[in-house]
A and B are shown apart, each in its own frame.
Chain A
């Protein structure tokens, strides 16, 4: 019997025709051929209107040896809604770890092995690829100054409220131990971009071990679908609400 851990590399994709093949090609060989784990790739496209599907098909057809699943949402589920499907899949099919990766190339697939490792080693339940371990590096990597300031303000506020010590809450490059996902009711979270914060709050509240690894910041030609003000408002609301509920002042 194969004792190796089962890893699901889960790519959320939306209108990423210019980036998706590059993301897939940059997944290192060691992720596909590894003594400690076996990998499967799941791409869930959230009703892209560009040629993302063709790009994915081309890649799958040219790599018949790799274990790749492609799903397509006929109705757009949103960034958070799409993640719910991937995590549900990971739980349903008995994966040990699921890694979230973006189809728009914002996060480097070459770090996949690094982000998985702390969970494989039993040192963490959640690993976040953080662009803010060395804060100024994010600016050097092209993060717009207004986003950098917003990220800092939100992170400091969230750390204070949640009594945590994370360098950022807003990275979408994460690995979760599937057993940890089973412990939190992520299916009730937002379908929007604040899903990432909500699930992190749930992980903190259930005392899951969270580790950060530094990742480079990359801002290229990808289109950002996040409305900054709405995102900030929802993040603060979710964080405040969770603390008020924790104080038993509000039921949720």
Chain B
């Protein structure tokens, strides 16, 4: 299996995938030593201006993990990915992003508090923010079929250490996500498949029509 990891970051994902025997092609504007070590191929480029057709790769999975919120034009990137890969053996897109509808953010807004910080949903490097609804709309408009949607809990063990309290909070968060993911999920995970482009569908319809007419 080959994974195209767009916006690969420090290389943790490349390391994990490499351990499992998965081929990783990593793309980011700055490639770390760790990423180089664990990737079969690295491409150092600006993601939003990357010329995907020229990469000549055929991935089974495309990862966009916590990256689209950093982009100015995620719609453009999703369209580029669809244009490049939708007509091949269709790869699955796995996309994660922070949920701006998380109850802490909503509560803060209610109290008139909204600001960016060093980490988290409102990381100061985030350009675009999404809810479950707007992410679904984004994928729908860009021409993807959504296969799976998941709410991801807040990283309590990372914030307050891996202890009984953080594990309890994690458990409660998971329960609440089942009830109302839009309010209680800290992050969102989507699995989506790009639909073929119109040009491709038209070509296929023309060929099929021609075959039908030739049949006696």
Contact = CB atoms under 8 A, between A and B. Distances in A.
Interface of A: 44-45, 53, 57, 60, 69-74, 77, 81, 84-85, 88-89, 92, 187-188, 252
Nearest to B202: A85
Contacts, number: 45
Which of A69, A71, A85, A92 has the most chain B CB atoms inside 10 A of its CB? Answer: A71
20 contacts: A45-B209, A53-B212, A57-B212, A70-B209, A70-B212, A70-B213, A71-B202, A71-B205, A71-B206, A72-B208, A72-B212, A73-B204, A73-B205, A74-B204, A85-B202, A88-B199, A88-B202, A89-B202, A252-B137, A252-B141
Contacts of B213: 57, 60, 70
For the side of the interface on B, what is the size category?
10 to 19
Contacts of B143: 188
A151 B199 CA distance: 34
A53 B213 CA distance: 9
A77 B201 contact: yes
A71 B205 CA distance: 5
Interface of B: 137, 141, 143, 198-199, 201-202, 204-206, 208-209, 212-213
Contacts of B202: 71, 85, 88-89, 92
A103 to B, nearest CB: 14
A92 to B, nearest CB: 8
Contacts of A71: 202, 205-206, 208-209
B198 A85 contact: yes
B154 to A, nearest CB: 26
B199 A72 contact: no
